[in-house]
């Protein structure tokens, strides 16, 4: 049975900040960037008011913010940061260091278009650029999910089978600055759910089993020079951890559901059971798409959708099981991969169906770059195109750009 919760009016950034307050991590290192600034701004107020015990480090850049988190996490602290777009790009070097050193840092990414030209509005180009950096990536549909996912992220990152950093992604402005009702758990319930950070053990230089943290009393090396004699094997350990992460994400999402009444998985299907046409996508747009699916159902159209929550690790089997019997799939990408054949999500979806005996027709729709709106009318155009493909059995143009002028 779900515990009693309090409804709070919060925008997405505030929801993230409130979740972090309840977790009360040891270190938050941050540098402001729109549309993420409210997260660390609000959290700094919690620090100033004595509502948390966190050491707040105001650094001079995003590169330094993640560097500080790496040092803190390696020393055994819980560390958090947040950023967006160009800030994430400035962290690039440290993204790989954090994941390669197996440090369970949690970071909120408030998705924003990358410059130039400079743009502060949402698309997924920032997180998509970081998709191969070894971080788990969770995409949120609404502010409630942002709150819930931040709390779950600590358990996922620190799980002994995972030990990887986690990005929780929410769309800039659409979620970050929009007020919603958010159901919040009591502080003590969050504290108990997250628990204390537990450390995996390793053998140190003297053959002694010690916790995997930097400790002068039990010295170990984290992130040394690693040439061709061992580098490949250490990458395989990361691959193995990412392979174990799907089960962990689902287990923790189910456990959280028992507390809150809101269960989370790797993918979230909507009216897919008997659907003939379906769209697949990430983030807040999929909430709008549910309204369009409902309208089409009223007209007798067998439409559905699949929202992917976990982009990394990519939930291959769950996607296949949900979509294998559909006539046509429309993949929505809020990012472009320059020079590639279609967007990042489209490439992944099409790839996993290559070896299947039954392959749906798959079309790509790139939309919303730089924050361009995706209202129900434009989503309806996509569904109408999918209906046409289903009727003719042919895709005239595989990659389409939706909402571009002239």
Would you state the pLDDT for residue 57?
A: 98
How far apart, in whole angstroms, are the C-alpha atoms of residue 286 and residue 398? Answer: 21
Q: Give the confidence band of 406 by pLDDT, cuts at 50, 70, 90.
A: confident
Task: Give the whole-angstrom CA distance, residue 325 versus residue 330.
Answer: 14
pLDDT digits (tens, 9 = 90+) for 390-399: 999 999 999 9
Nearest to 226 by CA among 102, 329, 87: 102
Count CB neighbours of 221 within 10 A. Answer: 9
Using pLDDT thresholds of 50, 70 and 90, give the confidence band for residue 272: very high
This model's pTM is above 0.75: yes
* Distance, CA of 67 to CA of 157 (rounded, Å): 18
Model pLDDT, residue 15: 98
Phi (first) and psi of residue 59, to 5 degrees: -95, 175
pLDDT digits over 345-376, tens only?
Answer: 999 999 999 999 989 999 999 999 999 999 99
What tens digit of pLDDT does each residue of 274-323 get?
Answer: 999 999 999 999 999 999 999 999 999 999 999 999 999 999 999 999 99
Banded model confidence at residue 79, pLDDT cuts 50, 70, 90: very high
Look at the chain and count its residues: 406
* Rounded distance between C-alpha atoms, residue 146 and residue 139, angstroms: 8
Could you give all domains of the chain from N- to C-terminal order, each with its CATH number?
6-194+239-260 (3.40.50.970), 267-402 (3.40.50.920)
Say yes or no to pLDDT of 220 above 90. Answer: yes
Map the chain to HEC letters: CCCCCEEEEECHHHHHHHHHHHHCCCEEEECCCCCCHHHHHHHHHHHHCCCCCCEEEECCCHHHHHHHHHHHHHCCCCEEEEECHHHHHHCHHHHHHHHHCCCCCEEEEEECCCCCCCCCCCCCHHHHHCCCCCCEEEECCCHHHHHHHHHHHHHHHHCCCCCCCEEEEEECCCCCCCCEEEEECCHHHHHHHHCCCCCCEEECCCCCEEECCCCCCCCCCCCCCCCCCCHHHHHHHHHHHHHHHHHHHHHHHHHHHHHHCCCCCCEEEECCCCCCEEEEECCCHHHHHHHHHHHHHHCCCCEEEEEECEEECCCHHHHHHHHCCCCEEEEEECCCCCCCCCCHHHHHHHHHCCCCCCCCEEEEEEECHHHCCCCHHHHHHHHHHHHHHHHHCCCCCCEEEECCCC
Residue 329 pLDDT: 98
**Which tens digit of pLDDT belongs to each residue from 32-76?**
999 999 999 999 999 999 999 999 999 999 999 999 999 999 999
* pLDDT greater than 90 at residue 261: yes
Q: How far is CA 149 from CA 12, 20, 93, 297, 404, in A?
A: 12, 11, 25, 30, 33
Q: What is the pLDDT of residue 253?
A: 98
Q: Is the pLDDT of residue 112 over 90?
A: yes
Statement: residue 205 has pLDDT above 90: no
The rounded percent of the chain whose pLDDT value lies above 90 is 98
pLDDT tens-digit profile of 4-26?
Answer: 999 999 999 999 999 999 999 99
Q: pLDDT at residue 1 above 80?
A: no
Tell me the backbone φ, ψ of residue 263, rounded to 5 degrees: -95, 140
Alpha carbon distances (Å) from 336 to 1, 84, 287, 296, 329: 43, 17, 21, 28, 19
């Amino acid at each position: 049975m779900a515990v009693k919760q309090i409804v709070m009016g919060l925008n997405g950034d505030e929801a993230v900040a409130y979740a972090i307050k309840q977790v009360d991590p040891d270190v938050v290192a941050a540098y402001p960037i729109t549309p993420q600034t409210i997260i660390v701004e609000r959290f700094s107020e919690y620090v100033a008011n004595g509502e948390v015990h966190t050491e707040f480090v105001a650094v001079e850049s995003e590169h330094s913010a993640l560097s500080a988190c790496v040092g803190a996490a390696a020393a055994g602290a819980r560390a958090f940061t947040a950023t967006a777009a160009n800030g994430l790009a400035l962290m690039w070097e440290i993204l790989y260091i954090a994941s390669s050193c197996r440090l369970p840092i949690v970071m909120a990414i408030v998705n924003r278009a990358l410059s130039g030209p400079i743009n502060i509005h949402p698309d997924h180009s920032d997180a998509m650029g970081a998709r191969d950096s070894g971080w788990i990536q969770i995409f949120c549909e609404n502010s409630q999910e942002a709150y819930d996912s931040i709390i779950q992220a600590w358990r996922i990152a620190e799980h002994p089978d995972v030990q990887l950093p986690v990005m929780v992604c929410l769309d800039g402005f659409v979620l970050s600055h929009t007020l919603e009702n958010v159901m919040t758990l009591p502080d003590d319930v969050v504290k108990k759910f997250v628990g204390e950070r537990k450390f995996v053990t390793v053998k140190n230089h003297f053959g002694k089993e010690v916790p995997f943290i930097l400790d002068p009393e039990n010295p170990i090396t984290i992130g040394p020079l690693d040439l061709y004699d061992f580098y490949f094997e250490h990458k395989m350990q990361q691959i193995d951890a990412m392979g174990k992460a799907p089960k962990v994400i689902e287990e923790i999402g189910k456990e959280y559901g028992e507390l809150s009444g809101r269960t989370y998985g790797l993918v979230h299907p909507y009216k897919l059971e008997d659907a003939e046409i379906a769209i697949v996508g990430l983030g807040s747009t999929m909430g709008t798409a549910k309204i369009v699916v409902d309208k089409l159902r009223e007209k007798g159209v067998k439409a559905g959708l699949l929202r992917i929550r976990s982009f990394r690790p990519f939930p291959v089997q769950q996607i296949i099981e949900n979509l294998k019997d559909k006539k046509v799939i429309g993949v929505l990408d809020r990012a472009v991969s320059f020079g590639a054949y279609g967007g990042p999500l489209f490439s992944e979806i099409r790839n996993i169906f290559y070896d299947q005996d039954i392959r749906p027709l798959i079309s790509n729709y790139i939309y919303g770059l730089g924050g361009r709106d995706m209202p129900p009318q434009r989503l309806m155009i996509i569904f109408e195109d999918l209906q046409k493909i289903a009727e003719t059995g042919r895709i005239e143009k595989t990659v389409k750009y939706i909402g571009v002028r002239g």
